[in-house]
Structure 1
Amino acid sequence: MKHQTFSNVANRLDRLPISRVHYQVLTALGIIYFFDLADLFTLSNVAPALIEHWGVELSTIADITAASFLGMFLGASLGGRLSDRIGRKKALNCFVLIFSISSFLNALAWDIPSLMIFRFLTGLGVAAAMIVTNSYLAEFFPSSVRGKYISFCAMIGLIGVPVTNVVSAFVIPLGSWGWRLVFVWGAAGLIYFFFIRRLEESPRWHENRGAYNQANAIMNRLETRVEKEKGPLPAPKEAAEVHAVKHAGYLGLFQGRNLKITIILSAVWILETFGFYGFASWVPSLLKSNGITMEKTLWYNVLHSVGAPLGALLGSMISERFQRKWILAASAFLTAVAGLLYGMTFIPVMIIVFGFVVNVTERIFTSNLYAYTSEPYPTEYRSAGSGLAYGLGRFSNIFGSLLVGFIAIKLGYISVFLFIGGCWLLCSVLLILFGPKTNAQQI
């Protein structure tokens, strides 16, 4: 390729056929997704054991959950900004290390305060890694299939949910110490470092900073690898010369077009967090508190979560067939209905069926929301903007988890599901009225 003063990264990436290069990226980042999402559910599985063996109350579980979400808020907000400064790959390496080591430290917790500190650090690493992973995927894959492959990566990650539930169901009953092994399992995300040898820095990140030589060098390596596998590549579309963009910091997220994007995405993530974690984090404890044994609760959770990867797979399959805003709105509505029905029954078969349906429809929503959140912002704001929206959602659950605990204790079991269903319904309405369209738009 002839020397040029700009690198035309977007058009060069968009004309690459899906190849081994893309699958290597999916493998490395899929591992992050797998253990990232697996770790999000370790506490909900461990909670009944803490209630039984440590004698803690639901309000204490709410406090531990709140510490996790405070860490997620700071991780998403600061982690996204850090990756905009130092690069996607360096940030990923840093945050995977943080959440894996912190998860192992959870297994060594000796009391509630120590567990809260370690859950805070785990949440910080988990949320930061998730945000940077989505930014990398959005910047790397061709715009015509971007949503499909981000959703597919989410599906890989969501397989970690039923696997973690199965691990929990086997190890927690081993004894009063069994719950500690669940956190050891969450630390296995360190295997990511065995798969990153050929993971390049995001060339769009280099281009956006005016580092055209570095962006060109990465693109030349990628194109050479793809050509060896797929044959000669078509010429990329011509593009106007690009210039390095001066980043206005977080203030830029509240200016011009970014302001509407920030408000909409933040509201959606807040409602999603209330609805999603209100269900996932509290169902095992709520079932146990209503007379269902810990063993049955754990296996109900396993059967529910089988729907998670199926939902993410369906989300991936339809991600480019319909506008993502409509997929999100429809799946949020269906989750509201299924969640309400779940809360109205104690019949075992119905608990399993409605829990399964919630996991399917919610994961259709979440797998597409990760793609949707990374798309509307320009490159210089992508990680910071999506991180802020995601982080505000997690921050809101500091209060959301306390609120769910209050509703469960003061108003009863069914009231929790009325609250959860209302959050999903409001989320659907918000997306229908104000959600931007993003499919196949070059970013």
Structure 2
Amino acid sequence: MSETPASPERSLSQRLDALPFTKKHAKLLTGSGLGWALDAMDVGLISFIIAALTQHWGITTGEAGLIASIGFLGMAIGASLGGLLADRFGRRQVFALTLLIYGLATGASALVGGIAALLVLRFLVGLGLGAELPVASTYVSEFAPARIRGRLIVILEAFWAVGWTAAAVIGYFVVPASEDGWRWAFALGAIPAVYALVVRWGLPESPRWLAGRGRVAEAERIVAEFEAAAAGPVADGAASGVGAGAGVAPGPVAAPAGGADQAVASAAAPAAPAAAPIAASAGGRLAGLWAREFRGRTLSIWVVWFCVNFAYYGAFIWIPSILVDAGFSLVRSFGFTLIITLAQLPGYAVAAWLIEKWGRRPTLSVFLVGSAASAVVFGTADTETAIVAAGMALSFFNLGAWGALYAVTPEIYPTSLRGTGAGWAAGVGRIASIVAPLLVPVMLVGIGTAFTFAVFAAFFVIAAAATWGLVDRRGQALDDR
């Protein structure tokens, strides 16, 4: 077989986009997804722990809301700082730091003897988790081939359902088992963080970020490793397994012509120079978000993040407690929550398929409208069957929307602004997640469950409208400036 010389003009970005889905992609997706699942497990567990502490410690509704909100305050700060740090020091380095903070603070939470210490540790947990999510989506998007980039980010976000389901299982079996059940829940939440930290250190740095920082040789080496993996047997098991989990499998694309030797030759060829970064300093990156080219996108994505966070955390943090207040036992309400949580997985699966068929904006807006309708129905449900069915619909549409949101957010910014843009969007969203747990108890008492969930529906509708101010880069290369 004749070998065609690699084109000197072929950029790192083009080479990454030309790759099939390999075992290296699968490892990267799984390693990043573990951190994502841990985030979900922590957020999910705190809803069960709040319900348990209300019974065991006799905490007030206001204290319960403060426990929830202090974590989200940490997440808001963590998300904003994490994006800036990821653009400055690299994606992988920030990953490891966030998991270390999370693991230590979560483990220590199991030992607290009062609300004050728990609040301090919940804030530290929030710092770690808040920085983790936007950095993870940015990281994976920079490795993913353009034709399946949105799908892979939705699959990454589907790890949220894995973590939330784990939280529901722990909440159902462990938290109600004894007065110290919530302590064991915290301890279980800290153990996987150690493993995820080890996995993360085994992952490569983003070659797009490396090239943007002038570290072209390192970037070339990483891309060459992915090309060599593509020239060998493609990770059929991993690709089909991950794809099947979302209802779709990434389409096959031929490896570079000439097999493994050609893959190495391609990597050795000089790539086209990276585009000049838009900003090099933290201040420049923040200002860049509001440059003429990006200000409309920034405003729109901030509105979407704020509204989705308010509605999602306002509803899901309080669902176990709402069910207990409705007269269901602690164990029964936790069981209903577990069933509702399982509907997240098909929501991600459908979103992963549609996001490459319809595009980012149509998929996101349809799932947000579905979330709004489901919220209205859930707020007026008065039977066990209706509560579970409406809760499952809300879970299906809302988490599908989250998958699409995480897919579109990193794509709307160039590489030099990507971490900052994604981090600040998440940070603005976390402001809503701070307000919602504090406001919901007041709303439930003042206007009732039906009107409270109607408010959530209104926020979902506003978010759906704001999606149309975003750019849709389905199938397009990332902006590497």
* TM-score bin, normalised by smaller chain: over 0.9
> What is the letter of the counterpart of residue 224 of structure 1?
A
Q: What is aligned with 2:466? A: 430
Q: What is aligned with 1:92? A: 95
> What is the letter of the counterpart of residue 169 of structure 1?
Y
Q: What is aligned with 2:30? A: 27
CA distance in 2 between counterparts of 1:420 and 1:288 reads 20
**Does 2:477 correspond to 1:442?**
yes
CA distance in 2 between counterparts of 1:84 and 1:431 reads 25
Residues 222 and 408 of structure 1: CA distance in aligned 2, closer, same or farther (over 3 Å): same
CA distance in 1 between counterparts of 2:273 and 2:172 reads 57
Paired residues for 1:22-61 under 5 Å: 22-61=25-64
Among residues 259, 273, 276, which one is paired with 1:241 in the alignment? 273
**Does 2:358 correspond to 1:326?**
no
> What is the letter of the counterpart of residue 418 of structure 2?
R
- Identity across aligned pairs (percent)? 28
Please tell me whether the aligned partners of residues 98 and 131 of structure 2 are also in contact (alpha carbons under 8 angstroms): yes
Q: What is aligned with 2:445? A: 409
Q: What is aligned with 1:138? A: 141
**Does 2:306 correspond to 1:270?**
yes
How far is 1:289 from its partner?
2.0
CA distance in 2 between counterparts of 1:223 and 1:198 reads 18
Among residues 148, 163, 167, which one is paired with 1:164 in the alignment? 167
CA distance in 1 between counterparts of 2:59 and 2:51 reads 9
Deviation digits for residues 17-68 of structure 1 (CA, Å, limit 9, x no counterpart):
1111111111111111111111111111111111101111221111112211
Please tell me whether the aligned partners of residues 378 and 391 of structure 2 are also in contact (alpha carbons under 8 angstroms): yes
Residues 7 and 95 of structure 1: CA distance in aligned 2, closer, same or farther (over 3 Å): farther
In terms of mean alpha carbon deviation, does 396-405 or 18-27 score higher?
Answer: 396-405
**Does 2:123 correspond to 1:120?**
yes
How far is 1:211 from its partner?
1.7
SS of the residue corresponding to residue 122 of structure 1 reads helix
TM-score (norm 1): 0.95
Among residues 103, 108, 113, which one is paired with 1:110 in the alignment? 113
CA RMSD of aligned residues (A): 2.1
CA distance in 1 between counterparts of 2:79 and 2:222 reads 27
How far is 1:224 from its partner?
2.0
Please tell me whether the aligned partners of residues 92 and 201 of structure 2 are also in contact (alpha carbons under 8 angstroms): no
How far is 1:113 from its partner?
1.4
> What is the letter of the counterpart of residue 214 of structure 2?
G
Among residues 186, 189, 207, which one is paired with 1:186 in the alignment? 189
How far is 1:197 from its partner?
5.7
TM-score (norm 2): 0.87
Please tell me whether the aligned partners of residues 161 and 308 of structure 1 are also in contact (alpha carbons under 8 angstroms): no
How far is 1:244 from its partner?
4.3
Q: What is aligned with 1:301? A: 337
> What is the letter of the counterpart of residue 347 of structure 1?
T
Q: What is aligned with 1:260? A: 296
SS of the residue corresponding to residue 356 of structure 2 reads coil
Q: What is aligned with 2:244? A: none
In terms of mean alpha carbon deviation, does 100-109 or 320-329 score higher?
Answer: 100-109
How far is 1:316 from its partner?
1.2
CA distance in 2 between counterparts of 1:397 and 1:305 reads 19
CA distance in 2 between counterparts of 1:179 and 1:429 reads 40
In terms of mean alpha carbon deviation, does 294-303 or 284-293 score higher?
Answer: 284-293
In terms of mean alpha carbon deviation, does 262-271 or 225-234 score higher?
Answer: 225-234
Q: What is aligned with 2:249? A: none
Please tell me whether the aligned partners of residues 76 and 131 of structure 1 are also in contact (alpha carbons under 8 angstroms): yes
**Does 2:100 correspond to 1:64?**
no
Structure 1's unaligned 5+ residue stretches are: none
Q: What is aligned with 1:390? A: 426
Deviation digits for residues 181-213 of structure 1 (CA, Å, limit 9, x no counterpart):
222222122211343464111000011112212
SS of the residue corresponding to residue 324 of structure 2 reads helix
> What is the letter of the counterpart of residue 274 of structure 2?
V
How far is 1:401 from its partner?
2.2
**Does 2:414 correspond to 1:369?**
no
Deviation digits for residues 263-318 of structure 1 (CA, Å, limit 9, x no counterpart):
11111000000111111101111221232221111111001001012211221122
CA distance in 2 between counterparts of 1:440 and 1:69 reads 34
How far is 1:7 from its partner?
7.9
Structure 2's unaligned 5+ residue stretches are: 235-253, 258-265
Q: What is aligned with 2:227? A: 223
Deviation digits for residues 148-186 of structure 1 (CA, Å, limit 9, x no counterpart):
111112213312212210111111121111111222222
> What is the letter of the counterpart of residue 208 of structure 2?
R
